[in-house]
Amino acid sequence: MPKRIPVNRDTIQRLVREMPAERRTAVETAFQSLRRYPLRTALTLLGLAFGVAALMATIALGRGAQEAIRDQVRAAGLNVIEITAGNYRTRGERPIGGVEAPARHGAALPPGALERLLRKIEPVALAHPENDPMEKHDHPTAAERLGDSAAGLGAAATLTSDDAEAISSVPGVAHVASGIHESVRVFAGDRRWFTRLHGTDVDLVEIRRSFAMQHGRFFSSGELRRSSQVVVLGSVARDQLFGQDEDPVGREVTIWNQTFEVVGVVVSTNWMNPGAPGDDEFDAVYTPFTTVHQLLNVTNLNSITVTAASSGRVTEVSRAITDLLRERHGIGETQADDFTVTTQASEVLGKGLHPKVAETLAGNIPNLERTTLAQLASTLERSSRTMSVLLLAIALVSLVVGAIGISNVMLLSVRERIREIGLRMAVGAQTGDVGSQFLTESVLLGAAGGVLGVVIGAVAAVVVESSFGLAVEISVVAGLISFLVALLTGVIAGVSPARRAARLDPIVALGSE
């Protein structure tokens, strides 16, 4: 008994001393073995590398797709809130006390009520020259471009730039753009075009996610401050004034007998809304609102366009803005708003409807919007989660396929080298030596396949992006994940062959032919 303890201590010390050497031997031996079978090593490597490359490329594509979806949603303007001066509604539909109160017009209309409403509303349509049905126009009328309900909006002089300033500090507001809108005749040489003029803010480019500068730039904050006579043309207006795809930057147009310098052209990046004559965004020209104020000698705004920081907060933000403006305008509890807050949802729902019907609908919108936007947000979230799960599944599949590949090759290699294993054991390799050699080989294959796969995957992603025009986002994280998956594959795949090799009986192994 007294003998055993020193032996144990000695053994432990010796083991500790030897550990690095053993690991070194395992790595060296594994490297040698891999080098001695270059074809097999290369094929295994390629198999794993393509799996990892697929994973890498899929992550890049998936993330690109997610980004693209998010951009499209933003471009669709779901987080845009439009505040227009004036209120065509006779009484405020805003449910007092917020969310619980049901909309007043929310209930189903009694039979015949719709017709009665329509008859009553008829005289409201004012005798604007554009509304004369006998009149021939060389341009789309305001009603055509905006719809009946919107055509009368913005006439009241109740919104100011100070309101816009105040709104910009409401929590959840990302961007604010003042707007003053006029219908104008724009002259360029002998051509003329009747279009919308938007006096606006530099933030508009941020708000209209579908805006892209085809030529030049948007006007600057300096030009806004100086009320410069600069103009940005919508692509449709540019087509009419200068010809298809011309670059008019630096040339001049005349509006209100004033000369404006063209500084840029905006086009749409949203395939759902490519820009067409009569629309409000690309058949339009943009100038600083300060310039319009100065030239027309006014101070009011027709509208203020706001974006919420996220689409889920639109209802909350629009309510906060309503409260703020009511307070600023000194509107009492029982009085109607002197402005209208419209969100994308209410606009979509009210489009093409008679004002009174739209109004009825609008009463329901706070409730409706709450659900739809919440639903939309959760749908988006769900779809991105689905995407993540899909990616995970692909990662798992490629892990399994890669692991099976390596495992197969390693098992084959154990069988093929059974005599070699027997010999190594005969000359003194312990079970751990043999096991760690094969495990190390497998891990080395995994690591090398991982590196190769990440490189191939990144290249493939770039190629896919450039040749198919798909959005791709290659990230370090994706590369790291792919590499780790490959390494893990190597470890998992190596376990069973390594155990099999280590458990061989040297006599049997040596005797096998």
Instruction: Give the residues lining the site for another protein (CB under 8 A).
Output: 14, 18, 21-22, 25, 28-29, 32, 36-37, 419-420, 422-433, 506-507, 510
Instruction: Tell me the closest approach of the beta carbon of residue 447 to another protein, in angstroms.
Output: 22
Measured CA to CA, the distance from residue 386 to residue 389 in angstroms comes to 5
Instruction: Tell me the closest approach of the beta carbon of residue 441 to another protein, in angstroms.
Output: 14
Measured CA to CA, the distance from residue 309 to residue 170 in angstroms comes to 11
**Which tokens in the block code for residue 190?**
């002998």
Cβ proximity to another protein, 15 vs 374, nearer residue: 15
Measured CA to CA, the distance from residue 51 to residue 28 in angstroms comes to 27
Cβ proximity to another protein, 21 vs 476, nearer residue: 21
Cβ proximity to another protein, 25 vs 269, nearer residue: 25
Contact present, 158 and 339 (Cβ < 8 Å): yes
Cβ proximity to another protein, 384 vs 431, nearer residue: 431
Question: 3-state class of 288 per DSSP?
Answer: strand
Q: Find how far residue 103's CA is from the centre of its chain.
A: 33
Cβ proximity to another protein, 337 vs 441, nearer residue: 441
**Which tokens in the block code for residue 297?**
């000698």
Instruction: Tell me the closest approach of the beta carbon of residue 2 to another protein, in angstroms.
Output: 19
Cβ proximity to another protein, 18 vs 132, nearer residue: 18
Instruction: Tell me the closest approach of the beta carbon of residue 429 to another protein, in angstroms.
Output: 5
Instruction: Tell me the closest approach of the beta carbon of residue 409 to another protein, in angstroms.
Output: 16
Q: Which of 366, 306, 286 is nearest to 82 (CA)?
A: 306
Contact present, 471 and 401 (Cβ < 8 Å): no
Instruction: Tell me the closest approach of the beta carbon of residue 414 to another protein, in angstroms.
Output: 15
Cβ proximity to another protein, 352 vs 432, nearer residue: 432
Instruction: Tell me the closest approach of the beta carbon of residue 11 to another protein, in angstroms.
Output: 10
Cβ proximity to another protein, 397 vs 426, nearer residue: 426
Instruction: Work out the widest C-alpha separation in the chain, in whole angstroms.
Output: 120
**Which tokens in the block code for residue 478?**
């994706």
Measured CA to CA, the distance from residue 477 to residue 451 in angstroms comes to 14
- Between the CA of residue 176 and those of 79, 163, 325, what are the distances in Å? 12, 10, 14
Q: What angle do the packed helices 355-416 and 476-502 form, to 10 degrees?
A: 30
For the chain, report the end-to-end CA distance as a whole number of angstroms. 46
Instruction: Tell me the closest approach of the beta carbon of residue 24 to another protein, in angstroms.
Output: 8
